[in-house]
Amino acid sequence: MMFFGRKTTFAHGIHPPESKDDTSGERIRQFEFAPVLVVPLSQHIGKPALAIVREDQEVLRGQCIAEADGFISVSMHAPVSGTVRRLGLTPSITGRMTQGIFIEPFPGSTQEIMGGTPIDSASASPDEIIRAIQAAGIVGLGGAGFPTHAKLRIPDDKSVDTLVINGAECEPYLTADHRVMVEHAADVMAGIPYLMRATGAPRAIVAVEANKPDAADALREAIPDGAAITVEVLPVKYPQGAEKMLITALLGREIPSGGLPLDVHALCVNVATTAEIGRLLPQGAGIQERVITVGGPAVKRKGNYRIQIGTPIRFVLETVGVEDDITRVFLGGPMMGQAVSSLDIPVTKGTTGIIAFTERETGHVGNTTVYPCIRCGHCVEACPIFLNPSTLGLLAINDQHQQMADEFHLMDCFECGCCTFVCPSHIPLVQHFRVAKRAVRKAQAEARASEVKA
Amino acid sequence: MTSLQKTLEIRSSPHIGSGNSVDTIMFHVVLALVPVSAYSIYAFGLTSLLTLLTAIAACVVTEHLLCRLNGRATTVGDWSVVITGLLLGLTLPPGIPLWMVAVGGVIAVGLGKFLFGGLGYNPFNPALVGRAVLQATFPVALTSWPVMPADRFSSLPTSTLAWPFVEPTYDAISGATPLAAWKFEQQTTATADLLFGSTTGSTGETCAILILLGGVYLASRRMMSWHIPVAILLTVAMFSGILNLADPTTYASPLFMLLSGGLMLGAVFMASDMVGSPMTRKGCVIYGVMIGVLVVLIRVWGGMPEGVMYAILLGNAAAPHIDNLVQPRVYGSAKTQEGGT
Ligand code: SF4
Ligand code: SF4
């Protein structure tokens, strides 16, 4: 791509099979209401929301049921009209139990969405927009779960020259963002002005991978006249959807280690998040549902569904039907998604996909023997951060966590899994690195704690 | 919905893999060596077949026994030891006493591989370690090229079955290898003979085309970094080409340099061995250039006609250091540059 004077993608990365055909052509369908929905108070990075409903209270769909606790926190809204049955613990994807609000839908309710004060993108002040986004309960729908409004408040010494709308969706199997772009391009275009106004960004780029030409076309058609919005098509490569990679691919800028896109005057917002902002803010409503890819070889009726937040995974899978040889279910894509420990985990705002595998896909086909590192260098050629996973892996086996961090940039690893994917020795590299990173963070925290005491 | 009652696996991501596996890669290397081996059996007959079989058997048995003795599960199933055996056999002259072949195999695996910790930990190519020790111990046997009997498929040169530690007797010693002929007698060999292997030489070093074919097969399956052989061969061609241009009477033509001796086999199958070569692409190129330069230096100015073995061993020794030199800058770790890096 250098021939054209500018890189259109990032260095390294991998090309896993896309496995998107089963769901990418299907229209989004509305999902049924589960008999009981559980809205966890913590679905985002930051402080859990504070519940403002009581047991047996009746709530309306879209009504605020928990308020943000501080700036790095967002509100929660009732996903259905129904009765609050109890406030209690629910399993979560982290493996820990968290507080949740259990709601039983009214039978036969029309389930109309309750709106509030509309916010106009042209006349509202940046501050009003940021507050409205927080009140709408919006977090990064790409899976990270960071409160979106918190990203939008730009410190005085920083500025944004480009707003990047992330429609890369580089994870195999996932097509939810793809369908949102095709079917709700207008919402995306309605959401962008709020973000531009809140951040002062003079232009926006929607980045789409080349395997979604219909999405790029729909978006281009939906661009309002005179808007400083462009759609860029990038070559398909994993992990292009990672903020760092995407910004490098689009703008040729490198985000400093430990830094944010803001450090290079860019801001990255997921495309589904943008569409949600464009859909909700004009009616003053909050998030009650999201589009999720339910797929993978073990799922019978694969597709993209608009599913209420709080719907238990078990209900989703029972409704779509699963094959008998189902072995693994994970939330998100197969590269970074987390396997569920319990099917009672509810769908949250960060759930991009519910993917179920059978024995055929789990494990590398046939052979899962772990061999010693043969220094083939595949991992080195795959790591988009230019780490040396081979060396890190050898150190990890000997628990040299501190050395991994000090000399080999362990903390820059963002756990994309490319190294593990390519390793012919089947060494669980990224799995080692997660453990090592946790150990280093813990050691750092302990060091700080003892300093305070001293 | 009974299928949802059963316990699901909880593993951390990634949930998919490339399907690549060490044993598959190694098996394909063996496959890629089959044509070369077959040709060497065709060219040199029974003695070559026995040499290859002995080398493989010695290597496999040594690895198996050493694993057992150390209470580890045997690792012969990963095919890498078969490659070591095959490569060792292919670098030996036809008619070499079989007991020497066996000793070479034991040394290759015991000293070259197991002592360092087995697959992945051996800094040097085990087959070359075996070959180097043999060359130092039995210099005469390693440089004697017996004339093949006319009925090469039914009879053996007497040296093949020589008793251990008895000086082998040779029925007849053929002319020197093309490289030795050039170095010591200033004779060159026709290119076609080199390409198709109708010359004297180690069992597997003679047919350049089949070696290249094997290499192309592996590179096309992305089981070998093609950068290494290409860098070596280009370097040798360019370096010897410059010398040849300067003085065609003293220095052989680049084509001759490329096709003679163990260069092809070494470049395609030994220098490219993943374990002993650098991990980064840039490192591989530097490593290849270094080996290429060394090959020409040793061949032209060294005391020996052939330098591939030593060049690769030196390259192996340098590989980790080359990796350190070209370790890419970690993303975002240095000053950020606008407009790309
Ligand atoms: S998981 Fe970490 S080390 Fe492995 S490729 Fe991704 S960033 Fe690199
Ligand atoms: S991919 Fe695996 S075997 Fe190859 S160098 Fe990396 S860690 Fe070693």
Domain ranges of chain A: 141-283, 378-453
Structural domain includes residue B148: yes
* Tokens (6 digits) for B216: 């192309």
Cβ(A415) – ligand 1 distance below 6 Å: yes
- Determine which residue's CA is closest to atom 4 belonging to ligand 2: A376
pLDDT at B100 over 90: yes
* B212 & B300 share domain: yes
* A374 close to ligand 2 (CB < 6 Angstrom): yes
Boundary of a domain, candidates B150, B174, B198: B174
Same-domain status, B102 and B192: no
* Cβ-proximal residues to B25 (8 Å cutoff; 6+ apart), any chain: A376, A424, B223
A397 lines ligand 2 (CB under 6 A): no
Residue B235 in domain: yes
Structure token pair of residue B167? 């000086």
Cβ contacts of A327 on chain B, cutoff 8 Å: 8-9
Span of A334-338, B16-20, B30-34, B103-107 with lowest mean pLDDT: B16-20
Residue A338: φ, ψ to 5° = -100, 130
B204 and B181 Cβ atoms separated by less than 8 Å? no
Which SS3 state, helix, strand or coil, does residue A341 take?
coil
Q: For ligand 2, is residue A379 a contact (CB within 6 Å)?
A: yes
Q: Do B277 and A375 touch (CB under 8 A)?
A: yes
Give the phi and the psi of residue A204 in degrees, each rounded to 5.
-130, 140
Is residue B164's pLDDT more than 80?
no
* A contact test, residue of B2, B16, B285 with most A CBs within 10 A: B16
Predicted local confidence at residue B153, as pLDDT: 73
B225 chain-A contacts, CB cut-off 8 A: 377
- Local confidence band at B194 (pLDDT 50, 70, 90 cut-offs): low
CA angle, residues B42, B48, B51, in degrees to nearest 5: 155
Kindly indicate the confidence band of residue B173, based on its pLDDT and cuts at 50, 70 and 90: low
Q: Which of A289, A288, A275, A283 is closest to A115 using CA atoms?
A: A283
* Pair (B211, B303) in one structural domain: yes
- Whether residue B158 is predicted with pLDDT greater than 80 in this model: the reply is no
Distance from CA of A370 to the nearest CA of B (A): 9
Q: Is B335 among the domain residues?
A: no
Q: Which ligand is nearest to the CA of A413?
A: 1
Ligand 1 mean position, distance from CA A10 (Å): 14
On whether the CB atoms of residues B135 and B144 are closer than 8 A, the answer is no
Averaged over B85-103, what is the pLDDT? 91
Pocket test for ligand 1, best of A418, A421, A435 (most atoms within 8 A of CB): A418
**Considering only CA atoms, which residue is closest to atom 2 of ligand 1?**
A413
CA of A265 to the centre of ligand 1 (A): 25
Position B252 scores a pLDDT of 82
Q: Which of B105, B140, B174 is the last residue of a domain?
A: B174
A147 Cβ closer than 6 Å to some ligand 2 atom: no
A chain contacts of residue B274, beta-carbon cutoff 8 Å: 374-377
d(CA A85, CA A385): 48
Atom of ligand 1 nearest to the CA of A420: 4
Tokens of A277: 């902002």
Contacts of A325 in chain B (CB under 8 A): 3
Which alpha helices (H) appear in B13-125, and where do they start and end? 22-44, 46-69, 80-91, 98-110
Same domain, B193 and B297: yes
- Show pLDDT as tens, one digit a residue, over chain A (454 residues): 344 445 578 889 999 999 999 999 989 999 999 999 999 998 888 899 999 999 999 999 999 999 999 899 999 999 999 999 999 999 988 888 999 999 999 987 767 777 778 888 888 999 999 999 999 999 999 877 889 999 999 998 999 999 999 999 999 999 999 999 999 999 999 999 999 999 999 999 999 999 999 999 999 999 999 899 999 999 999 999 999 999 999 999 999 998 999 999 999 999 999 999 999 999 888 999 999 999 999 999 999 999 999 999 999 999 999 998 888 899 999 999 999 988 999 999 999 999 999 887 765 455 678 999 999 999 999 999 999 999 999 999 888 898 999 889 999 999 999 999 999 999 999 999 999 999 999 998 888 888 776 6
Ligand 2 within 6 A of CB of A425: yes
Domain count, chain B: 2
Tell me how far the alpha carbon of residue A383 lies from the centroid of ligand 1, in angstroms.
5
Describe the strand order of the beta sheet including A204-209 as a list of residue ranges: A229-234, A204-209, A162-167, A266-270
Residue B152: CA atoms inside 13 Å, Cβ hemisphere, count? 17
- Examine the domain organization and report whether B132 and B184 are in the same domain: no
> What's residue B179's pLDDT?
73
Is B341 inside a domain boundary? no
> Are B182 and B170 within one domain?
no
CA distance A59 to A100: 15
Q: Give the confidence band of B326 by pLDDT, cuts at 50, 70, 90.
A: confident
Residues B164 and B289 in one domain: no
Exposed/middle/buried for A49, CB within 10 Å: 0-12, 13-18, 19+?
buried
Structure confidence at residue A378 (pLDDT): 93
Q: How far apart are CA A148 and CA A150, in angstroms?
A: 5
State residue A301's pLDDT score.
94
Residue B192 and residue B275 in one domain = yes
User: Once rounded to an integer, what is the mean pLDDT over residues B155-179?
Assistant: 69
Could you check whether the bond before residue B14 is cis, i.e. omega within 30 degrees of 0?
yes
Q: Kindly state if the Cβ of A433 falls inside 6 Å of ligand 1.
A: yes
- Spacing, Cα A377 to ligand 2 middle (Å): 6
| Least distant ligand from the CA of A415 | 1
Rounded to the nearest whole angstrom, what is the distance from the C-alpha of residue A415 to the centroid of ligand 2?
16
What's the CA-to-centroid distance between A415 and ligand 1, angstroms?
A: 5
Q: Do A388 and B279 touch (CB under 8 A)?
A: yes
What percentage of residues in chain B have a pLDDT greater than 70? 83
- A396 within ligand 1 shell (Cβ under 6 A): no
Count Cβ atoms below 10 Å from residue A47 Cβ, excluding itself: 16
Q: Which chain B residue is nearest to residue A260, measuring alpha carbons?
A: B332
Residue B89 and residue B80: Cα distance in Å, rounded? 14
A424 contacts on B by Cβ (under 8 Å): 18, 20-22, 24-25
Q: At what angle do helices B80-91 and B22-44 cross, to 10 degrees?
A: 20
Residue B14 lies in a domain: no
The reply to whether B126 and B88 lie within a common domain is: yes
Whether B179 maps to a domain, the answer reads yes
Provide the domain limits for residue B307. 175-323
Do B317 and B202 share a domain, yes or no?
yes
Say if B328 falls within a structural domain: no
The atom number, within ligand 2, closest to the CA of A429 reads 7
Q: Tell me, using a 6 A CB cutoff, whether residue A387 lines ligand 1.
A: yes
B121 CB neighbours in chain A (<8 A) are 372
Residue B215 shares a structural domain with residue B116: no
Measured from the Cα of A417, ligand 1's closest atom is 1
* Ligand that lies nearest to the alpha carbon of residue A373, given by its number in the listed order: 2
Could you say which DSSP state residue A242 is in? S
Q: What is the pLDDT of residue B335?
A: 41
Q: Which two three-digit tokens encode residue A145?
A: 């779960």
**pLDDT tens-digit profile of B31-51?**
999 999 998 888 888 888 999
- Interface mutation vs chain B, best among A301, A336, A374, A429, most B CBs within 10 Å: A374
Q: Which of A324, A375, A388 sits opposite B327 (nearest CB)?
A: A388
**Domain A141-283 falls under CATH 3.40.50.11540:** yes
Note whether B167 and B182 are same-domain residues.
no
pLDDT value at residue B224: 87
